[in-house]
A and B are shown apart, each in its own frame.
Chain A
């Protein structure tokens, strides 16, 4: 075996990633992303549905409920129309939903049925490349949907602050946290029935993370529970940015999501290593 001149995998990224004490990777996660983009071209219908859902919610809730509720007093203390109040929460929840879908159903199929990761691991790619690549892909898709949603929200007149420019990176961060944890959880699943647990975790979060009404309206006894959930932090972050109610609390929400994302990504890579490299 000689004369093999590889493109340039021994880049700086490769050397750095090899030195890290995490599950092995070759700094080639981008090819996992490229693979998903390639597959996605054959199934672009998913792109439309991923975008349409939060927009439908915005109009049905914002316009429908907004006609009944008129205005809401936010936890930040301002009085805003209901559509303005709910739009950031829809952005946060759709970032969550998209990330969870990508990192659970799709990853489960690839891991258990398509054996896609087995064939990737026979190449220079390592478990970390797979984890980072899959999560990165979920984020890319999520960013696309979030950008589209923000554009619609802007046109609908429910964006009121320049801070909303940061709403897109914030949505990507929410996606990161949920995609990473979702992928981590998926590595423990062995049958499709286990997805009921995912639904069980996601549905109540969607409804009760100060999504549709402010935290202050919850009974005091369960406010701490609401504040413990990751989506609460996502919603609070987006709402702070889109309404321009910026305070240090936003840094706290950001930190929560970052930590969750890092733990999830490391856990997912570690588990893939355990499962497939035995």
Chain B
């Protein structure tokens, strides 16, 4: 089980942004939250990403509690923010290198992974350039590549389990439809979309 939430709640002051949702996401599923603006999708994703403490309910990521094991969970998540938030003071490849180190990867692991990801994102020939002048699409690809840096893999691609997600999960986000499974990464990557 990648994510399991029961009665997950987030309030900002008196305002209830996420009102007791139940969600389960299993390995191999690609899962998306759909809903109108302000429904609480981003708030939910921030809780799952362990950058926002849950106000109530129970949340487990990889079976671990974000309140206790936040850094360890974040170490295993590929988090792709809404805004690009790249490090504009660094070059394209430096963005990947330093991000790998934030995740506790060794230098060798990081360099190897960065080379693969640059190729995947078709940014190899821009690797020494500063981020600032890149096109919007390139920045987006770099952001995605960066979010995959901590997912080194040597084993063959895992069997993708294309079972539909937990469509029964009723919550105020509107119909939580499982998104179409996509293979964003040459190596299979469990994907959550907010």
For B134, the chain A residues whose CB sits under 8 A away are: none
B51 within 8 A of A: yes
- Does B85 contact A7, Cβ atoms closer than 8 Å? no
- CB neighbours (8 Å) of B86 from chain A are 119
Shortest Cβ distance from B47 into chain A, in angstroms?
11
Give bound CA distance, A9 to B74, whole Å: 12
Q: A1-B62, A4-B152 are in contact. Are A24 and B98 (CB under 8 A)?
A: no
Cβ of A8 under 8 Å from chain B? yes
Which residues 1-54 of A sit at the B interface, judged by CB distance below 8 A? 1, 3-9, 24, 26, 28, 31, 34-35, 38-39, 42-43
Q: How far is the CB of B67 from chain A (nearest CB, A)?
A: 10
A124 on the interface (CB 8 Å rule)?
yes
Contact of A1 among B2, B52, B74, B154 (CB under 8 A): B2
A119 touches B51 (CB 8 A): no
Q: Is B154's CB under 8 angstroms from A3's CB?
A: yes
Which of B75-83, B116-124, B161-169, B170-178 forms contacts with chain A? B75-83
Complex interface: chain B residues within 8 A of A116 (CB): 85, 87
Residue in contact with A124 in the complex, picked from B12, B104, B109, CB distance below 8 Å: B104
Whether A28 pairs with B90 at a CB distance below 8 angstroms is no
Minimum CB–CB distance from B102 to chain A (whole Å) comes to 4
- The complex places the Cα of A43 from the Cα of B88 at a distance, in Å, of 13
Q: A118 in the interface, Cβ–Cβ < 8 Å?
A: yes
Are B99 and A4 in contact, with the CB atoms below 8 A?
no
A121 CB contacts on chain B under 8 angstroms: 51
User: Closest chain B residue to A120 by CB distance?
Assistant: B102
Partner of A115, one of B74, B79, B83, B155: B83
Would you call A278 and B72 a contact (CB within 8 A)? Answer: no
A277 CB within 8 Å of chain B: yes
Bound state CA distance, A121 and B49, in angstroms?
A: 10
A228 at the A/B interface (Cβ < 8 Å)?
no
B101 at interface by CB-CB < 8 Å = yes
Interface residues contributed by chain A, number (CB under 8 Å) = 33
Q: Is B148 an interface residue (CB 8 A)?
A: no
Q: Which residues of A contact B75 (CB under 8 A)?
A: 4, 6, 9, 123-124
Contact with A along B138-165 (1 / 0, CB 8 A): 0000000000001111110000000000
Contact B150 A4 (CB under 8 A): yes
A7 touching B51 by the CB < 8 A rule?
no
The complex places the Cα of A243 from the Cα of B102 at a distance, in Å, of: 44
- Complex formed: what's the CA distance from A120 to B71 in Å? 11
Name the CB-closest residue of A to B104.
A9
Say how far B191's CB is from chain A's closest CB, in angstroms. Answer: 11
Beyond A114-B87, A277-B53, whether A122 also contacts B94 by CB under 8 A is no
A1 in contact with B190 given A35-B98, A126-B70 (CB within 8 Å): yes
- Chain A positions within 8 Å of B, measured between CB atoms, are 1, 3-9, 24, 26, 28, 31, 34-35, 38-39, 42-43, 114-116, 118-126, 276-278
Q: What are 22 A-B contacts with C-beta separation under 8 Å?
A: A1-B2, A1-B190, A3-B153, A4-B76, A9-B75, A9-B104, A31-B102, A35-B87, A35-B90, A39-B89, A42-B89, A42-B130, A43-B89, A114-B88, A118-B85, A119-B99, A123-B75, A123-B102, A124-B71, A125-B71, A125-B102, A278-B12
Beyond contacts A3-B154, A123-B150, A124-B72: 9 other A-B pairs, Cβ-Cβ < 8 A, are A1-B62, A4-B76, A6-B104, A7-B104, A31-B101, A119-B99, A120-B102, A122-B74, A123-B75
| 6 cross-chain pairs, A with B, having the tightest CB-CB distances, nearest first | A9-B104, A123-B102, A39-B89, A124-B71, A26-B71, A6-B104
